[in-house]
Amino acid sequence: MRVGVFHPGAQQSWQRAVAFQDTGQLAWFATSAYFHPESAPVRAAGHLPSGLREPAQRRLLRRHFPLLDPAHVRRMGVAELAELGLRRLGADALAHPVNTWGNRRFGRQVIALMQREPVDVVWGFDTSALEVFRWAKPRGITCVLDQTIGHPAVMNGVMAAERTRHPEFFRGHDRPFSAAWIGRQNEEIALADLVLCGSDFCAETLRAQGCDPAKLRVVPYGHDETRWPDTPPERLPLDGRPLELLFAGTIGPRKGAAHLLQAIERLSPDTARLTLVGHRNVPKATLERYRARVRHVPQLAPGELPALFRSADLLVLPSLFEGSALVLNEALAAGLGIVQSHAAGDGAREGHTGTILPEVSPEALAATITALARDPETVAAWQANAWAERHTRTWARYRARLPAVLAA
C-alpha cells in the first residue's frame, strides 16, 4: 500500500507522513513550505547580517522535522507563505481569500503529483482536500480526511452566541463561515472513506452535521517528547502563595478569552495570577482593560515553552471550539494540572490530572480556581499524575497508532 500525505502548510502534518515512512508505506509528503538545514533558503539566510541571520534561519527551520526523510518531500506552491505573512501583518481579512485560492491551486498540484507518482491512499486535511478527493475517489483511491477542528457550521453557531455575550472581544473583520465554505467541507467529509479527529468533541460536531459515524475515528494528538525535559519540574510549595495560571494559544473569543479574563477580575491577586502566551486576536483596547491582572507574552520560540510551562501550576483552557488543543498534551509533558472545557479537546482526566468545567463562564472558572487555591493537595496530585502520564501523549505514540487505524 502506497500512501501520499498532503498539506499546503504544516499543522503537524509531517507526523502522519513519518507514521507511514516508518512502515515503508510512504510514497511522498506534499507541502508548500518545508526547509531542512541544507535547503537553499536556509543556506541563503546564512548570508544575512548577524542580527537577521539566526532569527531567519530559526523561522525557516520551524518547517523542518528531523525524522522525515527529505527524499519523501515534494514542495509545491507559495500561497501558504503569503497567507502566513498576511496574518503576521494583521491582515486576516486578506489572508482568508489567499488561503482559499492557494488551497485549490495546491490541490491541482497534488493531483498532478498523483499522476506522476501513483498512490493507493491519499491523506489530506480539512479545507484543503476537496479537489484531490474529487479526482481520487472515482479512481478507487482511498481518501482519508484529517479533521483538525470541529465542523464549521457548528462553530458558526457557537461563535454567534459568544459575539452576543461578549461583542467587545471581536474584531471588525471577524465573520462567520460562508455557505460556500461550509459546502466545500461538507463535500470533503462526504467523499472521505475515513475521517480522523483529535477528540470526542470534534467527532461530535461532525456527527451532528450528518457525518456517517462508521467512518469516524478519534485518535488523540501528542506532544514532541524530544523538546521536553525528562526531569520532574521543581515548583515552590503551593501553601501561602497565589496559584500560577497559564493560558497558551491564540488569545481570542474562540479560546474563551472573555470568560477567563472576566474570571480573573473576580479573584483577588492573592488567589491567582495569570500569564497569557500567544498572539492577540482581540481588540487591543479590550485586552488593555485587564493589563493590571495578567502578564501577556506575545510569542515564544518552541524551545522556550518548557521552562514557562514548568514554572506554572495549572493550565487553564476554557475553549469554546477546537479540534483538540495541542497545548493540553504539552501541559502533561510539563506535569501541569489542567482546567479545561469539554470543547478544548482530549486532555485532562477528570479528578486525576485536572478537571472539565461544567460550563464555560466567568462564574464557573472563578469558582473552580478559588476552590483549587484552597486545596493545594489536589493541585499537587494533579501535577504528579500529569507527569506520570506524559508518555501516553507523545507524537511517537500517535504515529504508532495510525497504520492500524488505516488498516482496520
Residue 294's H or E segment, with its range, is: strand 294-297
CA-nearest of 222, 318, 313, 312 to 261 is 318
For residue 350, the 8-state DSSP code is B
Q: What is the CA radius of gyration of the chain?
A: 21
Residue 354's H or E segment, with its range, is: strand 354-356
Q: Which residues pair with 358 in a beta bridge?
A: none
Q: Which residue numbers in the chain have pLDDT < 50?
A: 80, 83-84, 86
Q: How far apart are CA 211 and CA 126, in angstroms?
A: 14
Determine the pLDDT at residue 63: 73
The C-alpha angle with vertex 399 and arms to 394 and 404, in degrees rounded to 5, equals 130
Amino acid at 141: I
Determine the pLDDT at residue 273: 97
pLDDT by residue (tens digit) across 323-380?
A: 999 999 999 999 999 999 999 999 999 999 999 999 999 999 999 999 999 999 999 9
- Tell me the CA distances in angstroms from 36 to 39, 102, 358, one per residue in order: 5, 23, 45
CB 118 within 8 A of CB 167: no
| C-alpha cell of residue 184 | 466545500
Contacts of 364 (CB under 8 A, 6+ apart): 357, 358
Determine the pLDDT at residue 86: 45
Determine the pLDDT at residue 302: 72
- Tell me the CA distances in angstroms from 209 to 194, 200, 245, one per residue in order: 16, 14, 35
| C-alpha cell of residue 392 | 501516553
Question: In which residue are the cell numbers 454567534 written?
Answer: 160
* Strand order, beta sheet including 73-75: 73-75, 26-31, 3-6, 121-125, 142-147, 194-197, 216-218
The C-alpha angle with vertex 304 and arms to 34 and 269, in degrees rounded to 5, equals 135
Q: How far apart are CA 346 and CA 220, in angstroms?
A: 6
What structural domains does the chain harbor?
3-224+395-407 (3.40.50.2000), 225-393 (3.40.50.2000)
